[in-house]
Structure 1
């Protein structure tokens, strides 16, 4: 298809076909929230490469499909055992095609310390706060976030009580099943770290095979996810996000992080799957002495397209932001990095660092990179930059002269480039799992 469906037909028709599948009734717990998003989404349109923020990313392939809302699918615990991080074996909440699967989930932590589950199980005393947070309009004005809200069913919710430290990680496992229909899967996650709390979460997206379908019967699906994390005063959250979906799928995500004073947030992000993916990450430092650290790795091959877009807003003094995102790009793949740090006039004595490093493994691979600083404050220490490199012939020759094959030499150099990010993972089994996958994926 030469042109996208949005360039050959009416944009509103494409959106209407999606919206017509959603039914909002009077007994829906999220009725007002959905109605509000439904009203506002009609003022928006699906992005094309003609728009500035999407000019390097062509969604034409996505718009070829009329996606259907996914329904609950039954899978076995055996089929997902390799996807569960061993450190989180007793605290893993599982969603299949966007629907909570209680039978596949394991929750061993005390309810006196933490709540892990979905809205229907949230204590009544917490429900009003949950509705308020889900209804927060901060940074949810894009069409994909609105679409996710309109399809809201029963989001994954984690609430850590005040001054509680959770030692073992909590895993949120989102599984997509391969089908012969193009499915729209819309996970939603809300995490609240109360004052003085400390926890680690693993947000993991993957897929399982369908033994009843031949390869030529399987069609692409679309994961459209929204994750919201609220850090109260003096709380800590270590967030590992793994995207390892089918190589014919589409994945668009929105991560909204709101930090109060003295809070500490780390994101370890890994994009390894999907044919077309985009991660929109927005951080609001809404308190003094707030720290945010973002570590990212995108490994692309074949004709994959992956974009990481970040917007970090520093609004109070003594804030710290340190961001490093690396791309390893092979074949005809295309990487996009669009990072922005905004330092307001009130954010004095800020330390901000942003770096994008890229390794191109073939002459047909390419990267578009745009690190950006917007500084109004005058007492700051800020830097940003980007590098693009290839494997050096003399380095390959040196390693081969020491007895390594060309493939082994390439693996060693690429591994050294990625190791800085992989070492940030706080969970050993997850680190080993990713290293094993990456080793098998590098040509």
Structure 2
């Protein structure tokens, strides 16, 4: 059985709960007739080894919610603005949506339809829907996390979107979906997490898609944390469309999974937008983590700045491929992109490819990449101040990572990530 056949078996044959979704699903299924699973011969996937996905057969999860505790997963700042999905299924009893401000909707598709939101104007409408993993997710849509803010609306507390996977002896595949619509002059902070409940060391596959639409002068601070089980496979897409004067700050943290890939795509649809992308990848053992980003500027006076850091240990492999397009129409753009990498062992591997494609002639753009190791003289200096070698290495790793972690606006999340960095061992 081919990999394509295996994955498309996960697309449900039952009609969607909202009949209007059928057209979206049908269109995506049509894309799959023309697309195939990428191989290393595909330039965009030449460093990503999909063989772990090829070797495993996955099944759709049971529609019954398994018992799960989120006591250690919930962040206190989102006590009244939390949405929880277990194995891709909405868990209302674990969600907390009390006393939301007027103009703020947080819920699943059924609740969004009941609230009269124009879901089908946005769902599945981002560019790139024909990409094979995105199309598989869209062709199987039955539910989605939905965050929708009306014009001139702000929510002060962060919104936590928890996508939790729990497995037994069955290799399951889930397809989490998120839709975020911030209408003009609205603002929010979202913490989106992909987690597992316990270290099962059993394979599972998450194929996630997030679509974000920012209206004129809307502002979103979005943190995406991937901390799946070490045996998991995670492929995700975050697609963002920005209207004029809107601001998007994205923080992407990659910690878990045996194999992970995050496609981060930003589309400028109005002038004078601001885009700030911050990324931190930490991989160990034989993990492989791939970040592909695209920032497509089409209007003048855009500002974009991207900093992505990778910490790679043992025989792990990290990949960064960042593209910034600045066509003739995007005059007076200010764009910067930097990828910094820290290799902690002789067998650790990084493939980095920052790219600028510029045809506009009145712009300020820069890009670069660095690869380094822990310096012996820095470790010696810290030892001379009374620290042992292990503590000195941890301190230097933390100093490298903290620049990204400190950009996350939620204190409890920063604290949790600081603990993860401290536990990251250097050879």
**What's the TM-score, normalizing by structure 1?**
0.93
Q: Distance in 2 between matches of 1:421 and 1:245?
A: 20
Give, in angstroms, the shift of residue 111 of structure 1.
6.0
Counterpart of 1:161 (choices 118, 128, 150) is: 150
Specify the alignment match of 1:225 in structure 2: 208
d(CA) in 2 for partners of 1:273, 1:73: 26
Distance in 2 between the 1:27 and 1:272 partners? 33
Q: 1:303 aligns with which of 258, 282, 286?
A: 286
Alpha-carbon distance in 1 for matches of 2:189, 2:345: 37
| Residues 107-146 of structure 1 aligned to structure 2 (within 5 Å) | 107-110=97-100, 112-122=102-112, 126-127=116-117, 129-136=118-125, 138-146=127-135
Aligned to 1:70: 61
CA distance in structure 2 between the aligned counterparts of 1:28 and 1:90, rounded to whole angstroms: 27
Q: 1:189 aligns with which of 159, 178, 188?
A: 178
Runs of 4+ that moved beyond 6 A: none
- Structure-2 residue corresponding to 1:41: 32
* Structure 1 segments unaligned to the other structure (5+ residues): 1-9
Cα RMSD, aligned residues only: 1.5
Cα distance, 1:137 vs structure 2: 5.1
- State the shift of 1:403 in Å: 1.1
How far off its partner does 1:89 sit? 1.8
- CA distance in 2 between partners of 1:242 and 1:432 (Å): 14
Do structure 1's residue 99 and structure 2's residue 89 form an aligned pair?
yes
Contact 2:246 2:273 in 1 (8 A): yes
Q: Determine if contact 2:126/2:239 at 8 Å carries over to the other structure.
A: no
| 1:253 and 2:236 matched | yes
- Give distance in 2, aligned partners of 1:442 and 1:26: 49
The residue that corresponds to 1:60 in the other structure is 51
Q: 1:75 and 1:182 mapped to 2: Cα distance?
A: 15
- Residues 398-443 of structure 1: CA distance to partner in whole angstroms, max 9, x if unpaired? 1112211100010111111111111101011110011112212334
Is the 1:24–1:31 Cα contact (8 Å) retained in structure 2? no
1:323 corresponds, among 306, 312, 319, to: 306
Q: Is the 8 A contact 2:81 2:100 kept in 1?
A: no
In structure 2, the CA distance between the partners of 1:377 and 1:108, relative to structure 1 (3 Å rule), is: same
Secondary structure in 1 matching 2:292: strand
Aligned counterpart, 1:387: 370
C-alpha offsets along residues 383-411 of structure 1, whole Å, 9 cap, x if unaligned? Answer: 00000000111111111122111000101
The within-5 A match list for 1:15-54 is 15-25=4-14, 28-29=17-18, 30-54=21-45
Runs (5+) with no aligned partner, structure 2: none
Is 222-231 or 26-35 further displaced after alignment?
A: 26-35
Query: In structure 1, what is the Cα distance between the partners aligned to 2:350 and 2:8?
Result: 34
Aligned length: 424
1:302-346 CA distance string (max 9 Å, x none): 000000000101111110000000000000000100000001111
Measure how far apart 1:123 and its partner are: 5.0
1:80 to 70, 76, 80: 70
Tell me how far apart the structure 2 counterparts of residues 64 and 145 of structure 1 sit (CA, whole Å): 21
- Which secondary structure state, in structure 2, belongs to the residue aligned with residue 121 of structure 1? helix
CA–CA distance in structure 2, aligned partners of residues 23 and 229 of structure 1: 25
